[in-house]
Amino acid sequence: MKLGIVGLPNVGKSTLFNSLTKAGAESANYPFCTIDPNVGVVPVPDERLDVLAKMHNSAKVVPAVIEFVDIAGLVKGASKGEGLGNQFLSNIREVDAIVHVVRCFEDTNIVHVDGNIDPLRDIETINLELLFSDLEILERRHAKLVKSVKGDKSLTKELDLVERLQKFLEDGSLAKNFEVVDEEEEKLLASFNLLTYKPTIYAANVSEDDLADDGASNEQVAKVREYAKKEGSEVFVICAQIEQEIAELDDEEKKMFLEDLGLKESGLEKLIRASYSLLGLISYLTSGEMETKAWTIEKGTKAPQAAGKIHSDFERGFIRAEVVSYEHLVEQGSMNAAKEKGLVRSEGKDYVVQDGDVVLFRFNV
Ligand code: GDP
């Protein structure tokens, strides 16, 4: 599961990416971090892990991780091949969700590619390139379908969908806002892997002064929020430059730094968590003396498959899961106390694991 960081040049993508990967390199030892300089493995901040680790005296804490890809170089005309455009667009096609960085900070020293600060124009510039690229894909699909449908009538439905989609996108609407008529269309639509179908978060990159009120007094941010709302996307306010500085600090210094800015946590942490949930991911937790660990599953995963994340034997020999919610466990202070109160449930193979479930699997070997 990967997120791609996109945006026009000079909006702060690399600065954001560097602070993300820096945070990753600092807090966990992931040897695969440096395989590709454009890919960063980033731990998902989860304060529940520290609480559980303390409760169980764990020797190690292992957070969930997600991958971010720095997709630089998207410019106006990319879909026509400008500036290696097509290569960047195909990089975006490989990610599961998008973090779209828009510049809302003023800085006369840093040139804006289109002359002045106008995040809505920037968003539309990028989205237009994504739309062009999607339309190209649909055109090719359409040509193929027109040929094959003659010998295979079952393709009529797909052809009809593609034609409606083409109209919709030509009007400037994004594929994620297209209303399908049934589940079959939903599946087909997902299978086209359109860029404008990918879930998106807008990261409004503001100056340091705008951090304290979360960008509320920055009218550019207000415009981005309004735009995103129509599209059904979330907006996060960050200051990439400050994040890069924060990423250099140790935990204690970081806390003080944030307090000075009037913040509880950095925008980066919020952004990472939102990215995780944008991917449809949640964490269940295991905790003992050896380690406290967050395990990543897709929302809706049942207990045996969740167990399979730990080891395939756990899935194959699954008997049941002993589950207590994180809140109940913390409320009671220990596993035994939670058990006495009847808060530790025994769940079978149809149980859908929830975010924050603290789980012990029983299985046959
Ligand atoms: P990219 O082209 O989108 O990857 O942009 P960069 O991350 O390389 O940033 C372009 C320039 O803007 C660099 O000089 C950064 O230091 C600067 N920059 C990035 N974020 C901020 C910010 O939040 N505030 C200010 N003032 N400058 C920033």
Q: What domains can be seen in the chain, in order of their start residue?
A: 2-45+64-115+198-278 (3.40.50.300), 132-196 (1.10.150), 300-363 (3.10.20.30)
Rounded to an integer, the average pLDDT of 260-282 is: 91
Average pLDDT over residues 23-27: 54
Q: Would you say the CB of residue 209 lies under 6 angstroms from ligand 1?
A: no
Ligand 1 neighbourhood includes 6 CB (under 6 angstroms): no
Q: Is the CB of 72 under 6 A from ligand 1?
A: yes
Per-residue pLDDT, 34: 45
For the Cβ of 215 lying below 6 angstroms from any atom of ligand 1, the answer is no
- Span 185-213, average pLDDT: 94
**What Å distances lie between residue 33 and 229, 275, 297, CA to CA?**
34, 18, 21
Cα→Cα distances 181→48, 142, 160, 161, Å: 41, 19, 11, 9
pLDDT of 30 reads: 47
Q: Whose CA is nearest to atom 14 of ligand 1?
A: 110
pLDDT digits (tens, 9 = 90+) for 116-134: 889 999 999 999 999 999 9
Residue appearing with tokens 């030509």: 170
**What tens digit of pLDDT does each residue of 272-328 get?**
999 999 999 999 999 999 999 999 999 999 999 999 999 999 999 999 999 999 999
SS (H, E, C) 156-185: HHHHHHHHHHHHHHHCCCCHHHCCCCCHHH
Return the amino acid letter for 59.
A
Residue 188 pLDDT? 97
Q: In the predicted model, is pLDDT for residue 84 greater than 70? A: no
Across the strands, what pairs with 294?
A: 285
Q: Is 10 annotated as a binding residue?
A: yes
**What's the CA gap between 114 and 99, in Å, rounded?**
21
34 among annotated binding-site residues: no
115 carries a ligand binding annotation: no
> Which pLDDT score, from 0 to 100, does residue 82 have?
62
- Please, which residues have CB within 8 angstroms of residue 173's CB and are 6 or more apart in sequence? none
> In this predicted model, which residue has the larger pLDDT, 24 or 101?
101
pLDDT of residue 85: 61
Beta strands (DSSP E) in 27-169 are 39-43, 61-62, 65-70, 97-103
Percent of the chain with pLDDT over 90: 74
| Residue 352 pLDDT exceeds 50 | yes
Q: Summarize the confidence of residues 169-187 as an average pLDDT.
A: 96
Cα–Cα–Cα angle for 112, 212, 227, rounded to 5 degrees: 50
